[in-house]
Amino acid sequence: MKNKEGKLNGKIALITGAGSGIGRESAALFAREGARILVCDINEEAGRETVNIITSEESEAFFVKADVSNAAEVKELMKSCVNHYGTLDVLYNSAGVYFIGKDGPVTEVDEKVWNSTIAVNLTGTFLCCKYAIPMMMENKAGSIVNMSSISALVGDAPVAYSASKGGILSLTGRIAASYAPYNIRATALCPGLIETPMTKLRFDDPEFLESYKNKIPLRRTGKPIEVAHLALYLASDESSYVTGAAFTIDGGLVAL
């Protein structure tokens, strides 16, 4: 592989949910910035496609299939990281689910939808942090970037998704405070509406989309690469004095 100079030069980055959307864009960007990538996704075909994108640009990546809500699989994921790269510098928890049309008000949400949403979004983030942090403690350095949402800050989404993303904010704060003595930083991304496969139903609804855009000061929705660039800053040493913070990337919606 070609040596690269960039904001993540020489870093090892594990990105969950890297088979599509924000995760894929972030994986490709991180690789272009010099990182070696562990691509993780539950969808093997999509994950391997991300690896192919990265390696076609003469960067290094390999794929591990894992369900982040399963502790045994997360443990094996971290073992694979150690076996392949020897260490871990950046953990980016991008994996998530949003059951549009099935999630809703608290009195109407099916318990299966609630449990599945919490399992992947919140428990998955918890498990990846739990089993990645010991590696970072050994290095006395590390950056954790967790995917939350503006739904954690404002009531613009159904209850299960909002609750899971709110939990991620609290989890991020506790990790930042607990592991700062080891120079481990933890931050959270809070995107607004971003065009990804997960939000396709929203973008397939012209009436909803037009109404939503009219609420956004910048009058448009976001792109995965825009979130990826913010994640890159938080993963890199450029943000070395940043921890415990949540960053909105929503076109100004929360500012209203």
- Convert 73-85 to b/e letters by CB count within 10 Å (16 or more is b): bbeebbebbeeeb
CB 24 within 8 Å of CB 224:
yes
Q: How far apart are CA 203 and CA 21, in angstroms?
A: 14
Q: How far apart are CA 124 and CA 121, in angstroms?
A: 6
Burial class of residue 139, CB neighbours in 10 A (0-12, 13-18, 19+): middle
Task: Say which of 92, 161, 179, 241 is annotated catalytic.
Answer: 161
Q: Which helix (H) or strand (E) holds 245?
A: none
* Residue found under tokens 């415990």: 244
Q: How far apart are CA 195 and CA 202, in angstroms?
A: 9
CA-CA-CA-CA torsion sign (38, 39, 43, 45): negative
Annotation marks residue 131 as catalytic: no
CA-CA-CA-CA torsion sign (125, 170, 174, 25): positive
CB 202 within 8 Å of CB 209:
yes
Residues taking part in catalysis: 161
